[in-house]
Amino acid sequence: MAVSEGLAIGALARRTGLAVSAIRYYEAQGLIAPWRNAGGQRRYQRADIRRLSFIMIAQQFGLTLPEIRDVLSGLPGSRTPTPQDWRKISVRLRARLDQRIATLTRLRDNLDGCIGCGCLSLPKCALYNPDDRAKSHGSGPRYLMGDSPDT
Amino acid sequence: MAVSEGLAIGALARRTGLAVSAIRYYEAQGLIAPWRNAGGQRRYQRADIRRLSFIMIAQQFGLTLPEIRDVLSGLPGSRTPTPQDWRKISVRLRARLDQRIATLTRLRDNLDGCIGCGCLSLPKCALYNPDDRAKSHGSGPRYLMGDSPDT
DNA sequence: GTAATTTCTAAACCTAACTTTAGGTCAAGG
DNA sequence: CCTTGACCTAAAGTTAGGTTTAGAAATTAC
């Protein structure tokens, strides 16, 4: 019952609200790294509660698990992260979030333009290629919300 | 070669940038309804280009296919949609988009507060339960970004 | 000391949104 | 006519992010 035998996975699950299976899954994806006790069971640091919470928040922001793993790689591996450490990666998160908001806002404003002008059909409508849509296999221009110019 | 034999699926795919398989999939999901020619091949109206473009845009906004189907149900089934028809459902789309932007912005502002105060660990941090996270199975409070108050 | 919980692993299953494959049919050009 | 490319259906495969299941071992509670 020493102070630092670590948390069992169930305790961590209760603390974070995550399912036990999800925590194991995150480990498989390289997002968290517990140690094992004598019996082979996973044990976690208290700091891992914060780590998992960060993961949950980042997911709400729309980051994928690999992206979150990348962001978390900014934390020191050797010691328990300090508030400063967290602050640093939160800033990285904030940057991504700002970008997403900007993209959505631009999209909305374009939609507004279309609603306003009533076109909703011309290439000039520009409601497209907002940079998310990866380059498709085909080449050449892709018309959006309508036919080629003569429609 | 009459003016209205309709578009073949390949032509529609080229016009919209979508894969042929995706267009068939949308049909299976009830998002588009072509007719068949004598040989059993799908034929589309020119207005379907617009319909598919709308689907692509709505997806960028984060709507699921069932949600898009619902929005599209606002279009008249009996005639080719007019600009007014499109304008009407675009307004519905815009409402959803505004909501998403608001949610993300609120999330970002909360994150800012946490960065500012450096806490990133307390229940009062409130960076959670932004309403997206459905009620989990367990009951009782869920601490975010940290342990219970004494951590 | 034993019963009830937890945890373990590996593998299968799940949903969304598609793509790929296999085996055939249709349509258009020469 | 015949070949080639576009199209057809049905079923299986794919990725992300997990959950469920099964059978066994560890831990905790009494």
Choosing from B87, B105, B123, the residue where a domain stops is: B105
Q: Which residues contact A20 (CB under 8 A, 6 or more apart)?
A: A9, A10, A13
Are B96 and B129 found together in one domain?
no
Q: Is the model more confident about A44 or about B111?
A: A44
pTM value is 0.77
Give B43-75 pLDDT, tens digit per residue: 999 999 989 988 998 888 888 999 999 999 999
Q: Distance, angstroms, CA A119 to C1' C9?
A: 58
Task: Express each pLDDT in A72-126 by its tens digit.
Answer: 998 988 888 888 888 888 888 888 888 888 888 887 887 777 665 555 543 445 4
* Helix (H) / strand (E) containing A43: strand A42-43
A102 at interface of B, judged by CB pairs closer than 8 A: no
- A43 lies in the same domain as A65: yes
Both structure tokens of B145: 């970004």
Q: Do B133 and B68 have their domain in common?
A: no
Asked if A136 reaches chain B (Cβ–Cβ under 8 Å), the answer is: yes
B42 CB less than 7 Å from any atom of strand D: yes
Cα-based torsion angle of the residue sequence B140, B142, B146, B150 in order, rounded to the nearest 10 degrees: -10
pLDDT in tens, A2-37: 445 899 999 999 999 999 999 999 999 999 999 999
pLDDT of residue A46: 92
Tell me, yes or no, whether A79 and A12 share the same domain. Answer: yes
Position A7 scores a pLDDT of 96
Q: How many domains does chain A have?
A: 2
Are B11 and B64 in the same domain? yes
3-state SS class at B32: coil
Distances (CA, A) of A45 to A5, A115, B54: 9, 53, 48
Residues B150 and B88 in one domain: no
Out of A60, A91, A130, whose CB is closest to B115? Answer: A91
Contact B57, B96 (CB under 8 A): no
Higher local confidence (pLDDT), A56 or A139: A56
3-state SS, residue B113: helix
Q: In sequence order, what are the residues at sequence separation of 6 or more whose Cβ sits closer than 8 angstroms to the Cβ of residue B37?
A: B5, B6, B43
Q: What is the residue range of A45's domain?
A: 3-105
A96 and A148 in one domain? Answer: no
Choose, out of A53, A97, A114, A117, the residue to mutate when testing the contact with B (most B CBs < 10 Å).
Answer: A53
Put simply, whether B135 touches A (Cβ < 8 Å) is no
- Nucleotide nearest residue B11, measured CA to C1': D6
Q: Are residues B133 and B74 in the same domain?
A: no
**Domain containing B92 — which CATH number?**
1.10.1660.10
Clarify whether residues B93 and B25 are in a common domain.
yes
**Minimum Cα–Cα distance from B89: chain A residue:** A115
Nearest to B67 by CA among B103, B104, B95: B95
Q: Residues B83, B122: one domain?
A: no
Interface of A with B in 40-69 (CB under 8 A): 46, 49-50, 53-54, 56-57, 60-61
Rounded CA-CA distance A49/B122 in Å is: 11
Same domain membership, residue A117 and residue A91: no
Q: Examine the domain organization and report whether B62 and B124 are in the same domain.
A: no
C1' (D25) to CA (A6) span, angstroms? 20
Pairs from B73-78 (Cβ < 8 Å, separation ≥ 24): B75/B51
Mapped onto helix, strand or coil, the DSSP state of residue A35 is strand
CB A59 within 8 A of CB A53: no
Given its phi and psi angles, is residue B120 left (phi above 0), alpha (psi -120 to 50 degrees) or beta? Answer: left
pLDDT at residue A117, rounded to an integer: 56
